[in-house]
Amino acid sequence: MPRGHFSHIIIDEAGQATEYDTWIPLGGLVGPNTKVVLSGDPKQLAPVVMVNLSKDYGSDISMLKRLSEMACYKNDG
């Protein structure tokens, strides 16, 4: 399918997928008008990573958690 074929891409349980796993469906399919929805709970189950070397480079963090910790998503009360 060509890039941009889908108007929306929804990734369920994105809090449990590694960031690399999340990029796989996005990398070749997202076009300039594609809406991306990541759903899940980044504080519930973390991604399961079996290789310690990968953990050293931060691959045990989900994209949902990394994005939710950005300043633009912080609520100052």
- Is the torsion defined by CA of 26, 21, 17, 70 positive or negative? negative
Residue 14, Cβ density class (10 Å: 0-12 exposed, 13-18 middle, ≥19 buried): buried
Domain range list for the chain = 8-73
Query: Is 26:69 a contact under the CB 8 Å cutoff?
Result: no
pLDDT of residue 60: 78
Q: What is the pLDDT of residues 4-32, one digit of tens each?
A: 999 999 988 888 888 888 888 788 899 99
Q: What is the pLDDT of residues 26-57, one digit of tens each?
A: 888 999 999 999 888 877 767 777 677 767 77
pTM above 0.85, yes or no: no
Query: Is 62:17 a contact under the CB 8 Å cutoff?
Result: yes
Residue 61 CB: number of other CB atoms within 10 A? 16
